[in-house]
């Protein structure tokens, strides 16, 4: 299998830009190196797309949450928490009433934060933005 970065750069070079639609179009050719990374059976892919749409519907539901400082924030209403059958979305009020679910959610928050930090830590502007938002008046 070829190097993914190399293939994506080649697609970008050929198309002039890199978008998901451009990648799918390029990979549609059966002899393309990325062809095997996609599901081409429309019956399967159609169902997967609907699952993706359902996830997005669940994620966009928001509610007001008052933080420890009394400031209201808009936060996601449903959160993915593992249960006996895998992952399932639970309302925030049920999550915070369950110590284990709360711990799982906090671990997820930390993973997301670490991922964001890893992605942008090289940018001093990112550090300044975080400091500005976390500690107003203290950012450089």
Q: Is residue 102 part of a domain?
A: yes
% residues pLDDT > 90 (the chain)? 61
Q: Is residue 89 part of a domain?
A: yes
Q: Is residue 70 part of a domain?
A: no
pLDDT of 14-45, one tens digit each?
999 998 999 999 999 999 999 999 999 999 99
Q: Is residue 115 part of a domain?
A: yes
Q: Is residue 2 part of a domain?
A: no
Q: Is residue 69 part of a domain?
A: no
> What's the chain's Rg over C-alpha atoms?
21
- Pull the structure tokens for residue 131: 């400091």
Q: Is residue 136 part of a domain?
A: yes
Number of domains observed in the structure of the chain = 1
pLDDT of 122-138, one tens digit each?
998 998 888 888 876 55
**Predicted pLDDT of residue 1:** 47
pLDDT band for position 73 (50/70/90)? confident
Q: Is residue 98 part of a domain?
A: yes
Torsion (CA) 112, 113, 114, 119 in degrees, nearest 10: 90
Give the separation between CA 46 and CA 49, rounded to whole angstroms: 5
What residues make up the domain containing 129?
81-140
């Amino acid at each position: 299998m070829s190097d993914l970065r190399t293939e994506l750069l080649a697609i970008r070079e050929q198309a002039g830009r890199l978008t998901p639609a451009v990648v799918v179009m390029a990979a549609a050719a059966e002899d393309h190196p990325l062809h095997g990374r996609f599901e081409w059976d429309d019956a399967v892919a159609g169902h997967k797309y609907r699952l993706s749409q359902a996830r997005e519907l669940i994620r966009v539901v928001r509610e007001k949450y008052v933080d420890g400082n009394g400031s209201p924030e808009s936060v996601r209403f449903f959160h993915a928490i593992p249960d006996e059958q895998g992952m399932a979305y639970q309302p925030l009020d049920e999550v915070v009433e369950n110590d284990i679910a709360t711990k799982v959610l906090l671990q997820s928050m930390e993973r997301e934060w670490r991922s964001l930090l890893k992605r942008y830590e090289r940018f001093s502007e990112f550090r300044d933005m975080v400091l500005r938002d976390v500690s107003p008046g203290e950012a450089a």
